[in-house]
């Protein structure tokens, strides 16, 4: 019997974990065990919202040490994180400046500068990436404009997972799936775009050519002196989550549900036409030349903030209270920029409802109901946008990630979208991370092969749409009203 042991370091915007995978190649069984879990949160440093990058590194090393202390021989390590953020390095490999978060306000107004020059159409033609005010394209411009004193010291800029891999191995890498989230990679060449980089004022010498997932970056020397390969997995956590999504066929969409919700489909070709630009669709890189044609949705960040502000610790009880409330009494646009990082999320949601002439949610369950209903209706809207873009309807939606544990939101999604929803696996980004490691170790052939392993080892839950539910009736009325307006226009 042959076993492989791979370690996945999976960092999200609110938490991180070091997970140990055990793969039995004879029986194609895959099990995960959590070794170390830790909190990740923003902190104010010198007026910026920043990541505690040193604390995260310490937790990564602690988790790896725990595995080694068990006497387990690790075959490989992979790291995936959120996208767009970076760390600056000097010529001696030392960090300079601050690891500023994408939620920091320094990019306010920067994207509007880009709309004038190089221009929205030109940026999209080159990158194929959704316009979000915190993309690295705008972060670098903000850096150059606001902190010019740092520029002479900068030798390299590493995205977050590449930085941690560098800290473990001493080797630099720029992994492709995460690099594409920056809005700086040319969609035709898979290399950094000279025109877009020039607009930021950043030096192209800060970046090495992006590499597709599956190469070995270097080796980490564990306490027992073993040299363990560190693999460049699909290091954007959504790219890893999609790899582990057991999509049934080409008519299956996915929704990676967590702090962010990302809804899309896989395609061998990108969508960069006028319709895609108008819908603000993104074409992020995936494994094996597959594009992740998707749209970013603010996701459960809104709920996470409300839970923290109101000191709510019993989420199942809150969901039960929420389920008893009528649907669609309070609705917001979760993707409104006002919800990126407000001082008080609860108050911001209340203000949005008040300003639109709606009742104002006061109780905890009312705020949660507002978030869940609003997300489900936005999911339905975006799923229709994606179906229109590709010219074919979807037959089912796969929800993966931590948010797929929320059965109420899953059912609301099925009802609003009007299609079958499959939820699971929960640890999708971790599993996708492991999948690329196993392919690099020649244990699996490709992504489709790995998805068969996922389907065989992890249970999925099915949610059947109920066309008579309150949210389904609201969605049907909304579509009817929109169609009526279009006909009368």
Question: Which residues have a catalytic role annotated?
Answer: 237
Q: Binding residue per annotation — 17? A: yes
Q: Binding residue per annotation — 83? A: yes
Rounded to 5°, the CA angle 309-38-58 comes to 130
- Joined tokens for residue 243: 């790899």
Q: Binding residue per annotation — 296? A: yes
Q: Binding residue per annotation — 402? A: yes
Q: Binding residue per annotation — 322? A: no
Q: Binding residue per annotation — 456? A: no
The C-alpha atoms of residue 338 and residue 192 are separated, in whole angstroms, by 31
3-state secondary structure of 105: helix
Peptide bond between residue 477 and the one before it cis (omega within 30 degrees of 0): no
The DSSP symbol for 209 reads P
Q: Binding residue per annotation — 304? A: yes
Q: Binding residue per annotation — 237? A: yes
Residues 138, 196 contacting (CB under 8 angstroms):
no
**Hey, which residues does 183 pair with through a beta bridge?**
none
Listed in sequence order, the residues at least 6 apart from 362 whose beta carbon sits closer than 8 Å to its beta carbon are 350
- Joined tokens for residue 396: 């089912």
CA 198 vs CA 118, 140, 157, 481: distances in Å: 10, 10, 15, 45
Q: Binding residue per annotation — 259? A: yes
HSE-CB for 475 with a 13 A CA cutoff: 29
Q: Burial code of 330-357, b = ≥16 C-beta within 10 A, e = fewer? A: bbbebbeeebbbeeebbebbbebbeeee
The C-alpha atoms of residue 428 and residue 10 are separated, in whole angstroms, by 10
Q: Binding residue per annotation — 202? A: no
Residues 227, 217 contacting (CB under 8 angstroms):
no
Q: Can you spell out the DSSP letters for 163-208?
A: HHHHHHHS----BHHHHGGGT-B-TTTSSB-HHHHHHHT--GGG-P
Q: Binding residue per annotation — 16? A: yes
Percentage helix, strand, coil for the chain under 3-state DSSP, each rounded to 5: 45, 20, 35
- Joined tokens for residue 183: 């809005």
- Joined tokens for residue 238: 């959504």
Q: Binding residue per annotation — 343? A: no
Q: Binding residue per annotation — 218? A: no
Q: Residues comprising the binding site for substrate?
A: 83, 236-238, 296
Q: Residues comprising the binding site for ATP?
A: 13-17, 259, 304, 402
Q: Residues comprising the binding site?
A: 13-17, 83, 236-238, 259, 296, 304, 402
């Amino acid at each position: 019997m042959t076993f492989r042991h791979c370690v996945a370091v999976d960092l999200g915007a609110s938490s991180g974990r070091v997970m140990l995978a055990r793969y039995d190649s004879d029986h194609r069984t895959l099990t995960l065990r959590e070794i170390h879990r830790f909190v990740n949160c923003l902190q104010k440093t010198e007026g910026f919202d920043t990541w505690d990058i040193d604390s995260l590194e310490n937790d990564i090393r602690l988790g790896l040490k725990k595995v080694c202390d068990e006497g387990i021989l690790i075959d490989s390590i992979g790291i995936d994180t959120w996208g767009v953020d970076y760390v600056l390095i000097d010529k001696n490999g030392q960090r300079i400046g601050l690891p500023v978060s994408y939620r920091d306000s320094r990019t306010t107004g920067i994207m509007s500068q880009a709309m004038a020059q190089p221009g929205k159409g030109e940026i999209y033609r080159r990158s194929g990436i959704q316009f979000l005010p915190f993309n690295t394209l705008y972060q670098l411009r903000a850096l150059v404009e606001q902190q010019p004193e740092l520029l002479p010291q900068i030798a390299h800029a590493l995205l977050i997972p590449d930085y941690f891999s560098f800290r473990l191995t001493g080797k630099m890498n720029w992994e492709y799936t995460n690099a594409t989230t920056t809005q700086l990679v040319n969609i035709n060449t898979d290399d950094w775009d000279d025109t877009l980089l020039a607009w930021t004022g950043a030096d192209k010498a800060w970046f090495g050519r992006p590499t597709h997932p599956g190469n070995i970056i270097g080796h980490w020397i564990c306490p027992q002196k073993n040299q363990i390969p560190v693999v460049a997995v699909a290091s954007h956590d959504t790219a890893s989550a999609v790899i582990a999504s057991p999509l049934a066929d080409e008519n299956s969409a996915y929704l990676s549900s967590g702090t962010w919700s990302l809804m899309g489909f896989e395609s061998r070709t990108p969508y960069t036409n006028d319709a895609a630009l108008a819908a603000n669709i993104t074409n992020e890189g995936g494994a094996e030349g597959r594009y992740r044609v998707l749209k970013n949705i603010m996701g459960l960040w809104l709920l996470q903030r409300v839970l923290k502000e109101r000191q709510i610790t019993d989420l199942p009880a809150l969901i039960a209270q929420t389920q008893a409330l009528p649907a669609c009494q309070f609705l917001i646009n979760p993707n409104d920029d006002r919800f990126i990082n407000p001082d008080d999320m609860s108050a911001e949601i209340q203000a949005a409802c008040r300003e639109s002439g709606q009742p104002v949610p006061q109780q905890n369950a009312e705020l949660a109901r507002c978030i869940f209903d609003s997300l489900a209706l936005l999911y339905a809207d975006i799923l229709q946008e994606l179906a229109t873009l590709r010219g074919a309807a979807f037959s089912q939606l796969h929800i993966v990630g931590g948010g797929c544990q929320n059965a109420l939101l899953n059912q609301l999604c099925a009802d609003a979208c009007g299609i079958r929803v499959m939820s699971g696996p929960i640890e999708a980004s971790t599993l996708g991370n492991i999948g690329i490691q196993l392919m690099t170790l020649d244990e699996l052939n490709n992504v489709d092969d790995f998805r068969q392993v996922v389907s065989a080892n992890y249970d999925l839950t099915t949610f059947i749409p109920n066309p008579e539910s309150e949210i389904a009736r609201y969605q049907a009325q909304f579509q009817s009203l929109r169609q009526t307006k279009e006909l009368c226009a």
